[in-house]
Amino acid sequence: MQVEFLGTGTSQGVPLIGCTCRVCLSQDTRDQRLRCSVLIRHPLAHFVIDSGPDFRQQMLRARVHRLDALLFTHGHKDHIAGTDDVRAFNYLQRKPMPLYADQRVQAALKREFYYAFEEHRYPGIPELHLMNIDEEPFDLLGVPIIPLPVMHLNLPVLGFRIGPLAYITDANAIPDATVERLAGVEVLVLNALRQTPHPSHFTLDEALEQARRIGAERTYFTHLSHQMGLHTEISSILPSGVELAYDGLVLGWDESA
């Protein structure tokens, strides 16, 4: 199994439009972040978690020629806005794209991409097949998935555990019951927006505390804003086993080993 970070930035991406801070002007590619998303290459299925506004660019940059499904954490625009671009895979693969989403996200998708769900549809629009999920474990084309319910201020959001990997973005609270589902996880991906307080995202210190609480062997922080600071500077102060993720980072392991 392999995970590739397609985007590790916050809702506006990094660099931010019009910003002249050190991070936004940085020439280090690790400081240049598209909207948050990952590609999972599993022996049974290749799927993307969240298709934000940069989805097309991410697919091109990662040279993705096969995509079996999309899986959604929640319905905010920076996590669903690129869904129309699955049309390319409809054409290549000659079948609808399965979208695994809870009822809240399905409502957002039907609202934003209403034309894809109309009875009389315009030629060439995306072919989407909604697959309902909730907080119970489910099967994605043969891949076992364990949902990880978290809170994003007042909005319920789903993270996901896929074997040794746990992926949680857009959260500022993780219930004890979810921590129990994370027992024995090897790699944790967790949002850490910035160093100063935010009403709906973990800060760096809060994310570090959650990482200690969960106890994964390795933790990677994602959904990073330009206010976090330069990649090199923040990396130098992180404890062993904790790193900032960056666009293009690939992690892989053999689950049978």
The pTM score is 0.97
State the pLDDT at residue 254. Answer: 73
The CATH code of the domain at 2-247 is 3.60.15.10
State the pLDDT at residue 253. Answer: 81
What digits encode the pLDDT tens for the residues 189-212? Answer: 999 999 999 999 999 999 999 999
* Rounded CA separation 12/16 (Å): 6
Neighbours of 129 (CB within 10 A): 11
Residues of the chain with pLDDT under 50: 256-257
Long-range contacts of 92-95 (CB under 8 A, 24+ apart): 92/65, 92/66, 93/66, 93/67, 95/127
Quickly list DSSP for 176-208: HHHHHHTTT-SEEEEE---SS--SSS--HHHHH
Secondary structure class of 33 (helix, strand, coil) = strand
Quickly list DSSP for 66-77: ---EEE-S---H
